[in-house]
């Protein structure tokens, strides 16, 4: 993630070779920003002198200096305003060498950077109000004790093995990492569980699934969450989860959101396709993200390789701005992955009871058989499954297929098939397309 930067010139976001994509937010680039080979890119609340390049999916929200929406000739999605955001907290040092953490205020319908002019609304929390955690010194018990005593939580860089879940119960608690501090739950519990309370912030953390299967790695709110948190939502920023890759592990889901009004500002959820334990029967994981709460908004969702639905959305009035997803590389056979006659697990699934939902700039890609013998018969019927009601809107979908197999349709059995070596673009579903 590239945040809060003022670039007095051009910004090149890849080096000309293979590049997957990334996230830019709350930054000014006086020159031209852009890509050459990058598959996809997401930019939020920035001011650009111009933009160049990008292949399959580039999405801009609340940003100036962008290309105009052009689909599919130059696959670009632009949304004029960011509907609601609380920007990521960050460490501050004053002139007298005193540290604090600045937590920006919640803002609505914004465009451009939050810090221009130096009068950004927000609050400073003295560093003395934080429990500063160190790997090898702190465990779940010491951290939970500090949280229960009213402290916020700052993880210094390193790997934290946990024998229990970190439980965040107090409204307004800030939990933040430095250097992507990494949490590893080792006893089959979650890494972080929050109560259904307002204003929690979780940022800059990596969670690695541990050797005993955790039902979930990060859980926001309990299953009975019903409270309206629209005035002070919980926010997650730059939260990454891995199942395998670094260490062998398994989980039911990476992130489950039960609370209402949650904002996720960049998440990468990854069932490993390479590295430690990256085998179909070893790093088991059903879903990357499950959303049960209402009015949840996500900016920059990267979610890939899980063994069933990558994203399951059960809540009402959800919003997603940019989605990148590779379905699993490694089903050992057609029968091992496709659930009966359903035609494979869609990457992005909105439950049939949902009546209002919107998503902008989605890319779903297949690379069946990358790390095994070719499986030409493994195919996905629909990359996206949603209810076809008048207030469910999917705007701009790209699909790509490599290696073997392919994707039969972008949405709900509609649109052209994507076969090996092909990229296809689909405008999406909205009321006008359902006449």
Catalytic residues: 326
Cis peptide before 72 (omega within 30 of 0): yes
Q: What gap in Å lies between CA 111 and CA 84, rounded to an integer?
A: 11
Distance CA 321, CA 77 (A): 9
Q: Sign of torsion, CA 409 359 331 406?
A: positive
Q: What is the widest separation between alpha-carbon atoms in the chain?
A: 66
The DSSP secondary-structure symbol of 87 reads P
Phi, psi of 337 (to 5 degrees): -115, -35
> Contact, 392 vs 354, CB < 8 A?
yes
Helix ranges restricted to H, 293-349: 334-337
Which residues neighbour 32 within 8 Å (Cβ) at sequence distance 6 or greater? 10, 11, 48, 49, 50, 51, 52
What CA–CA distance (Å, rounded) separates 351 from 193? 24
Q: Are 184 and 161 in contact (CB under 8 A)?
A: yes
Measured at the CA of 34, the angle between CA 32 and CA 40, to 5 degrees, comes to 155
- Cβ distance 353 to 296 under 8 Å? no
DSSP class of 344:
S
E strand residue ranges, 201-250: 201-208, 214-220, 235-243
Q: Cα separation of 316 and 313, whole Å?
A: 8
Strands 28-34, 6-7: pairing is parallel
In sequence order, the 6+-apart residues with CB closer than 8 A to the CB of 73 are none
């Amino acid at each position: 993630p590239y945040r809060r930067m003022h670039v007095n010139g051009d910004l090149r976001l890849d080096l000309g070779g293979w590049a997957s994509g990334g996230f830019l937010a709350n930054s000014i680039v006086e020159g031209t920003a852009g890509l050459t080979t990058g598959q996809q890119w997401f930019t939020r609340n920035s001011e650009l002198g111009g933009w160049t390049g990008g292949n399959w999916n580039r999405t801009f929200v609340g940003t100036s200096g962008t290309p105009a929406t052009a689909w599919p000739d130059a696959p670009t999605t632009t949304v004029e305003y960011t509907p609601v955001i609380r920007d990521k907290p960050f460490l501050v040092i004053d002139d007298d060498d005193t540290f604090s953490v600045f937590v920006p205020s919640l803002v609505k319908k914004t465009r451009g950077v939050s810090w221009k002019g130096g009068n950004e609304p927000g609050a400073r929390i003295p560093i003395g109000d934080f429990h500063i955690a160190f790997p090898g010194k702190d465990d779940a018990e010491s951290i939970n004790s500090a949280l229960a005593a009213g402290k916020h939580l700052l993880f210094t860089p390193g790997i934290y093995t946990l024998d229990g879940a970190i439980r965040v119960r107090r409204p307004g608690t800030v939990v933040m990492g430095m250097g992507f501090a990494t949490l590893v739950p080792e006893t089959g519990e979650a890494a972080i569980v929050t109560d259904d309370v307002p204003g929690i912030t979780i940022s800059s953390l990596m969670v690695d699934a541990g050797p005993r299967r955790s039902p979930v790695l990060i859980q926001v709110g309990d299953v009975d969450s019903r409270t309206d948190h629209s005035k002070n939502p919980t926010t997650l920023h730059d939260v990454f989860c891995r199942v395998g890759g670094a260490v062998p592990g398994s989980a039911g889901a990476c992130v489950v959101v039960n609370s209402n009004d949650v904002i996720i500002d960049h998440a990468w959820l990854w069932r490993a396709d390479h590295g430690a334990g990256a085998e179909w029967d070893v790093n088991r994981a059903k879903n990357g993200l499950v959303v049960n709460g209402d009015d949840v908004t996500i900016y920059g969702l990267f979610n890939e390789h899980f063994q069933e639905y990558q994203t399951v959305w059960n809540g009402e009035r959800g919003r997603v701005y940019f989605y990148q997803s590779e379905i699993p590389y490694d089903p050992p056979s057609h029968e091992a992955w496709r659930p009966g006659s359903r035609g494979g697990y869609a990457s992005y699934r909105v439950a049939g009871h949902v009546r209002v939902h919107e998503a902008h700039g989605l890319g779903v890609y297949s690379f069946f058989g990358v790390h095994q013998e070719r499986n030409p018969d493994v195919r996905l019927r629909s990359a996206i499954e949603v209810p076809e009601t008048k207030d469910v809107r999917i705007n701009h979908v790209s699909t790509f297929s490599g290696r073997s197999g392919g994707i039969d349709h972008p949405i709900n059995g509609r649109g052209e098939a994507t076969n090996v070596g092909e990229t296809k673009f689909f405008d999406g579903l909205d009321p006008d397309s359902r006449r």
